[in-house]
Amino acid sequence: MVEQAKHKKLWVHACMMLALMVVFHVIPPLGVITEVGMRLIGVFLAMLYGWTTCGMLWPSLMGMMGVALSGAMPMSNFLALSFGNETVVFILFIFIFTGVIDEVGLIDYIANKMISFPFLNGRPWLFSTFVIIGAYISAAFINMFAAIIVFWGIIYIVAERFDFKPYDKYPILMIFGVTLASCIGGCVMPYKPVPLVVLKAYSTMAGVQMDFFKYLFFSLPVTFLVMLFYVLLCRFVFRPDIKELRHISVDFADPDALILKKRQKVAVAFLVTFIFLMIAPSILPEAWILTQWINALGIVGCLFFLLVLMHLVTVDGEPMLVFHQITKHISWDIFIVMAFVIPFAGIFTGEDTGIKEAIIMAMKPLLAGLSPMVFIVLSLLIATLLTNIANNMVVGAVFATLLFTIGTSMGLEIAPIIAVLVVCVNLALATPAASPVAAMCFANKKWCRASDLYKYGIVTVLTGFVFAVAIGLLWAGIVY
């Protein structure tokens, strides 16, 4: 009965989305916004509604149909821009690549390694920091959802051993901290979905190639410091009772998991090679034949090369990659959303819509007298707030377009701002709708009260925003 009622609600939400699209088909053009622009605004609002109430996959498919019916372009052209886009193809196969890394148990190794150091004995806050760092590393290089599940498991073991109860402050803060580390870790590597979409939106508007090395050089220290800032926030502001945790001993690490197995070593080698291929064009001389080959293959070709090698390389008589067994790691929700968002961001602010001109005209009176720094901080703050009630990938893509459109008219250097924007839209933790990992955290009702998560989430997002913008803008200015 519950499932039937939920399914009936989907019909209501689908009708609401359709109504939004239809209404904007009949509203006459406003100012410089064209008829096509009005229809695309209806599609955009329908998508925001659908993503918030229903999920990500089928509303995105409705959005594709909405674009085709708006007159912006036929469906065949839109599909060529979406599923034929290099970034969309890349994200499909990166799920397979990271799925192999996940399957060999590398996250379990990282988790046990991070809590096995003898110097953690009797140091509860250092131990807590290493747990969160472990989740951060696992999310940054492998899979954020798997990182959450594994490191929550460690927190549950600690809670049981040291007599913490559900809803106690310490386990709630640690569960939330692992979620934060996984979320913020998800924007470290440029091949992760959110940074990939935002950087692609910027590079498309600016007509420049994405510099993965510069982004990585920016993101690693900034996100790491944001995570450490949360630990300090817990210790000196939230101040939970750590009970007998001050006498912690790290003897509960699994000895078998501390041995890096052969398949795990091979997986690490593939991961390091992949990261090298991503940043090589930015650091190797252009005249080298290796650089020319990597540029010719592009990020998708390099990924295909590694996947083929994974299929050919055998360890203990078994190939590293068996395609039909690893496809379960593909997140179809994220893939379809990216297939919609990447082309839509460009179409939405294209010359035929008048939307870009309308935004500039509307913002000019508001920006009159404001310094460029006030504009930057205000834009990043609005993006951070919106990302906690809407999909962070979508918010990031839209604000990358807006920042480029308005920022260039103010004579600003946009690339550093875009890098900080990626971090800001990954502070998506204050509500269940903020991100999939936030939804996981709020769903953990056995250990966490929603009211506590709202409280810690709002404080963490706002203080984290101040810290990330202050440190991020300074460092981005140096890097870029």
pLDDT digits (tens, 9 = 90+) for 425-469: 999 988 887 887 888 888 888 898 889 999 999 999 999 999 999
Q: pLDDT at residue 475 above 90?
A: yes
Q: pLDDT at residue 1 above 60?
A: no
Spatial CA neighbour of 348 closest among 388, 384, 383, 399: 399
Do residues 82 and 67 touch, judged by C-beta distance below 8 A? no
Residue 191 vs residues 92, 243, 415: alpha-carbon distances, Å: 11, 41, 17
What is the model's pLDDT at position 3? 62
Q: pLDDT at residue 144 above 90?
A: no
Q: pLDDT at residue 76 above 70?
A: yes
What is the model's pLDDT at position 53? 81
Residue 315 vs residues 134, 259, 266, 274: alpha-carbon distances, Å: 27, 16, 8, 19
Among 86-90, 260-264, 342-346, the range of highest mean pLDDT: 260-264
Mean predicted confidence (pLDDT) in 127-156: 89
What is the model's pLDDT at position 5? 65
Mean predicted confidence (pLDDT) in 377-388: 89
Do residues 148 and 440 touch, judged by C-beta distance below 8 A? yes
Q: What is the CA radius of gyration of the chain?
A: 23
**Can you name the residues that pair with 319 across neighbouring β-strands?**
314
Pairwise CA distance, residues 262 & 244, whole Å: 38
Q: CA angle 236-385-402, nearest 5°?
A: 135
Q: Which string of DSSP letters, residue by residue, matches 263-321? A: HHHHHHHHHHHHHHHHHHHHHS-TTSHHHHHHHHHHHHHHHHHHHHHHHH-EETTEES-
What is the model's pLDDT at position 380? 93
For residue range 199-214, list pLDDT tens digits in order: 888 888 888 777 888 8
For residue range 303-322, list pLDDT tens digits in order: 999 999 999 999 988 999 99
Mean predicted confidence (pLDDT) in 120-139: 90
Mean predicted confidence (pLDDT) in 26-54: 89
Determine what percent of the chain is predicted with pLDDT higher than 90. 38
Q: How confident is the model at residue 368 (pLDDT cuts 50, 70, 90)?
A: low
Pairwise CA distance, residues 307 & 363, whole Å: 47
Pairwise CA distance, residues 108 & 130, whole Å: 14
Q: Which residue has the higher pLDDT, 390 or 274?
A: 274
Is 323 exposed, middle or buried (CB count within 10 Å of its CB: 0-12, 13-18, 19+)? exposed
What is the model's pLDDT at position 235? 92
SS3 content of the chain, % helix, strand, coil (to 5): 75, 0, 25
Q: How confident is the model at residue 278 (pLDDT cuts 50, 70, 90)?
A: confident
Do residues 108 and 150 touch, judged by C-beta distance below 8 A? yes
CB atoms within 10 A of CB 205: 20
Over the chain, what is the mean pLDDT? 87
Among 64-78, 232-246, 329-343, 368-382, the range of highest mean pLDDT: 64-78
For residue range 247-256, list pLDDT tens digits in order: 887 777 777 7
Q: What six digits make up the tokens of 403?
A: 């920042």
Do residues 163 and 244 touch, judged by C-beta distance below 8 A? yes
Block residue for tokens 């709020």: 442
Q: What six digits make up the tokens of 193?
A: 């979905």
Pairwise CA distance, residues 336 & 346, whole Å: 17
Determine what percent of the chain is predicted with pLDDT higher than 70. 97
Torsion of CA 80, 82, 83, 87, to 10 degrees: 120
Block residue for tokens 């509500």: 431
